[in-house]
Amino acid sequence: MNVLYIPVAALFGFSATAIGAFAAHGLQGKLPEASLAIIETGVRYQFWHALALLAVGLMLLQLQSLALKPPGILVYAGAFFAAGTLLFCGSLYVLGLTELRQLGPLPVGLLTPIGGACLLLGWALLGIAGWQLA
């Protein structure tokens, strides 16, 4: 999984750029301002967490090139960044772009705090991994 962190980070950065441009240029005046603000929040968080996932991937690559075993917690940090970005930002895009409020038995709005908790956990694990490497 950790070999995928850099390409996934690039995909997150690419798609955040595309979604942000589409919202700014293609949806202006077609959606309520509140919906555009929700999408903008998703784009902003997606950019920051694409960079966080990229940093984790680069750290893992550097440790591998030095023949050092990375702390397992660093791998988990990347996984939580990826999952959190999908859940948090994805749910914001669904809420901002559609009228959909349920995904099966789950309210879409419930995915947002779950994704946010994953992002927070990713940051905490990254901090712990940094402490272990210092």
Q: Answer whether residue 12 shows pLDDT above 90.
A: yes
CB 6 within 8 A of CB 51: no
What percent of the chain is predicted at pLDDT more than 70?
99
Q: Give me the chain's average pLDDT, please.
A: 95
Burial of 43 (0-12, 13-18, 19+ CB in 10 A): buried
Stated pTM of the model: 0.93
- Give the confidence band of 53 by pLDDT, cuts at 50, 70, 90: very high
Q: Answer whether residue 94 shows pLDDT above 90.
A: yes
- Give the confidence band of 126 by pLDDT, cuts at 50, 70, 90: very high
